[in-house]
């Protein structure tokens, strides 16, 4: 594996249900890496092996495998397509040198497809598009191709067209070589060369002309050749295609049907012939210990360096640290963690093959490998040679968008939170925070299904129950006016009694100015030692609230008068008197409920702006402005927190998965009277 020119690493990406895992299985089977063609639907896949994946029939994690085809070693990452687990694909596109982008011929371009295309376009990631499922009912190559051209920020160039459609899909024509191939028996992955069907000759000529034009535009010499000769040779087409793909300016389109294993061998050839090796990719940029920029070329002559992009728990090997090697040769039994500034020893280097691991002695640039049971290393760390330290930027991860209050079963709390801590290591899109006012622990993630899957994994792996509930909204109370009131606590029950008496003036403070207490007692109507107790009683009453049990904020209290008893007065009596005065005074001053508002930034396509705006109005939101960037409309709004607890799910439904948003707390505002009445009634109930 040390001939880097014959090494590839690819991510298979695409919308949920487009056939990514089925294609990966077909590739591994056709290359002879696995002995039977597994199926996602019956749980026999070599790549979707976790219980949650088998139950839901979807990929949840990125799976890793590798194969050898025509003397090329290929490392393959099979990524999820579901929106709840899209971060796995987002990270994978930052780690690999190229991608195979799958689009189903029945459903065509979906909201998620556009997100994946954005990942590719943002990084100019060399890619192939495979139009899959061409053997299905209602499969339509032309319609899917039109959608790709019109809706995706990529320049597709057709290099294969199908022979037959739906159940009659039986082969393909290679536009570059102008040769046709018929698929052998279903499942074999093999093809036999044949003549181009007469009814496709005109179409082949048209696509070949279009391919020449697109390829010529990638290189000045090729443009000159094309203008002079009117065409490009097959060799020129192949070279120009490879160069255009490497810089991300064009994306070749090929065809197939993964579950029938049709067209797989041609995709294996294209990965070798068109997609770049690690040494054909740009050098990696990092910083040295002094913070100065430094680069590492993908060469064996450079010092070793790699980036950890995933950590996962394996029931046999323990904690697995997965990293991509960017430069040099890794061998031996230790490396330097430049992010943590310490040396880490490891027992064995592995290449991941589905749920199995294969031991290897060394790893070169482009390889994706794992080690077990590291003590300090976490996701995002840079591993390198101690004598040549470098730190790379960690792969970006998506921000969580939905939060639930999390709790354990009766005796599970401790075990649950220990388990969650381990899950946070594996999944960087999870956040665990404590809401101080409500006392709830909040688990945040990319979607509701994402958090439910975390719960089922914790139960399976660690035996702890996890319950999710919508978080409580941290309302607050305040007053609108002012009042002067007396608070008197007098209790006589034989023996020493209790006596405390105070008069306070209570008034509203500007929002955010907090609590102010002033002592304006003249003379000794309340002795000095009892006055702090009045303040303490008021503070405790504020924390408990008066209207609906929420903390009271932004209040000014002035202690102006009172009386005491030489025998019966005590700190406790004045504390109770202060509390009584405060409750009476706040009711007289007019209590109102306050609710938290969130600043929201929502990104949607033009087609969905009207729906989103209408929806924000129905949520009592205020649109603060609009902008455009990278083909998206950006809506800025302020919306009550209570109205957006499930917004992630609702926005996905409104925009077909195309919308994204972020929120941040901004301020408190008064709750409208009719809504406040319901909150108060619920609180009292």
The domains found in the chain, sorted by start residue, are: 4-205+250-280 (3.40.50.300), 284-384 (2.40.30.10), 403-464 (3.30.70.870), 476-589 (3.30.230.10), 595-684 (3.30.70.240)
226: tokens are 């094309």
Exposed (0-12), middle (13-18) or buried (19+): which is 495, by Cβ within 10 Å? exposed
Q: Collect all residues with Cβ–Cβ distance below 8 Å to 112 and sequence separation of at least 6.
A: 14, 15, 16, 81, 82, 83, 86, 657
Farthest-apart Cα atoms in the chain, separation: 117
How high is the pLDDT of residue 643? 93
Per-residue buried b or exposed e for 335-359, using 16+ beta carbons within 10 Å of the residue's own CB: bbbbbeeeebebeebbbbbbeebee
**CA–CA separation, 208 and 157 (whole Å):** 10
Of the candidates 24, 619, 599, the residue with the CA atom closest to the CA atom of residue 271: 24
Extract the residue ranges of the chain whose pLDDT is less than 50: none
Helix, strand, or coil here: 522? coil
CB contact burial 619-630 (16+ within 10 A = b; e otherwise): bbbebeeeeeee
Q: Which residues of 241-279 are buried (b: 16+ CB within 10 A; e: fewer)?
A: bbbbbbebbbbbbbbbbbbbbbbbbbbbebbbebbbbbb
CA distance 559 to 557: 7
- Cβ atoms of 238 and 157 closer than 8 Å: no
**Token duo for residue 120:** 């590719």
**pLDDT tens-digit map of 188-226:** 888 999 999 999 999 999 998 888 888 888 777 888 887
d(Cα 392, Cα 306) in Å, to the nearest integer? 8
DSSP 8-class letter at 257: B
What count of residues does the chain have? 685
- Which pLDDT score is estimated for 660? 85
Question: 564 — phi, psi (to 5°)?
Answer: -145, 170
The token duo for 200 is 């496709």
Q: Identify the pLDDT of residue 38.
A: 65
Distance CA 515, CA 556 (A): 6
Nearest residue to 410 via CA among 467, 357, 327: 467
- Are the C-beta atoms of 154 and 121 separated by less than 8 Å? yes
Residue 78 structure tokens: 């099979």
């Amino acid at each position: 594996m040390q001939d880097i020119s014959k090494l590839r690493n690819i991510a298979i990406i695409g919308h949920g249900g487009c056939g990514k895992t089925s294609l990966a299985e077909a590739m591994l089977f056709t290359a002879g890496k696995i002995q039977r063609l597994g199926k996602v639907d019956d749980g026999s896949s070599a790549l979707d092996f976790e219980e949650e994946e088998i139950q839901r029939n979807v990929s949840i994690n990125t799976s890793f495998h590798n194969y050898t085809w025509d003397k090329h070693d290929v490392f393959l990452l099979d990524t999820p397509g579901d929106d709840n687990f899209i971060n796995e694909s987002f990270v994978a596109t930052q780690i690999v040198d190229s991608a195979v982008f799958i689009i189903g011929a029945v459903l065509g371009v979906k909201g998620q497809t556009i997100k994946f295309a954005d990942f590719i376009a943002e990084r100019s990631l060399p890619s192939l598009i495979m139009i899959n499922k061409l053997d299905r009912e209602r499969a339509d190559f032309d319609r899917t191709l039109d959608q790709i051209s019109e809706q995706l920020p990529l320049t597709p160039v057709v290099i294969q067209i199908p022979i037959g459609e739906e159940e009659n899909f039986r082969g393909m024509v290679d536009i570059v070589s102008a040769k046709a191939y018929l698929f052998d028996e279903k499942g074999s992955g093999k093809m036999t060369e044949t003549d181009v069907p007469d009814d496709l000759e005109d179409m082949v000529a048209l696509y070949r002309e279009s391919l020449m034009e697109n390829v010529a535009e990638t290189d000045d010499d090729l443009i000159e050749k094309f203008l002079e000769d009117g065409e490009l040779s097959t060799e020129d087409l192949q070279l120009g295609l490879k160069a255009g793909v490497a810089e991300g300016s064009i994306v070749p389109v090929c065809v197939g049907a993964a579950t029938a294993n049709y067209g797989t061998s041609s995709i294996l050839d294209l990965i070798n012939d068109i997609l770049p090796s690690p040494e054909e990719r740009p050098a990696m940029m990092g910083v040295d210990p002094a913070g100065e920029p430094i680069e590492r070329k993908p060469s064996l002559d450079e010092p070793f360096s790699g980036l950890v992009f995933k950590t996962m728990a394996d029931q046999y090997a323990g904690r697995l640290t997965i990293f991509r090697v960017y430069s040099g040769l890794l061998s031996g039994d230790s490396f330097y963690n430049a992010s943590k500034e310490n040396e880490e020893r490891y027992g064995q280097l592995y290449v991941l093959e589905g749920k199995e691991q294969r031991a290897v002695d060394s790893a070169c640039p482009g390889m994706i490998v794992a080690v077990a049971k590291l003590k300090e290393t976490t996701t995002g760390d840079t591993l390198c040679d101690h004598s040549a330290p470098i730190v790379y930027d960690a792969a970006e991860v998506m921000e969580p968008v939905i939060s639930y209050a999390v709790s354990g079963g009766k005796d599970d709390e401790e075990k649950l939170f220990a388990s969650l801590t381990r899950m946070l290591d594996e999944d960087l899109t999870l956040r665990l925070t404590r809401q101080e006012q409500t006392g709830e622990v909040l688990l945040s993630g990319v979607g509701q299904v994402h958090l439910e899957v975390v719960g089922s994994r914790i139960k399976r792996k660690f035996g702890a129950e996890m319950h999710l509930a919508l978080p409580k909204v941290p309302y607050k109370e305040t007053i609108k006016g002012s009042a002067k009131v007396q608070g008197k606590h007098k209790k006589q029950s034989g023996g020493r009694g209790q006596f405390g008496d105070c008069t306070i003036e209570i008034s509203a403070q500007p929002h955010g100015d907090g609590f102010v207490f002033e002592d304006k007692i003249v003379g000794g109507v309340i002795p000095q030692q009892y006055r702090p107790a009045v303040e303490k009683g008021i503070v405790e009453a504020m924390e408990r609230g008066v209207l609906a049990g929420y903390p009271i904020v932004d209040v000014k209290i002035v202690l102006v008068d009172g009386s005491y008893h030489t025998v019966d007065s005590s700190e406790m009596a004045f504390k109770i008197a202060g509390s009584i005065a405060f409750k009476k005074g706040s009711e007289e001053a007019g209590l109102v409920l306050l609710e938290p508002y969130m600043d929201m930034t929502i990104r949607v396509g033009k087609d969905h702006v009207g729906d989103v705006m209408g929806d924000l109005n129905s949520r009592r939101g205020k649109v603060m402005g609009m902008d455009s960037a990278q083909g998206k409309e950006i809506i800025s709004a302020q919306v009550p927190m209570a109205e957006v607890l499930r917004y992630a799910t609702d926005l996905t439904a409104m925009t077909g998965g195309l919308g994204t948003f972020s929120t941040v707390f901004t301020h408190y505002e008064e709750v409208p009277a009719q809504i406040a009445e319901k909150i108060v009634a619920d609180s009292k109930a």
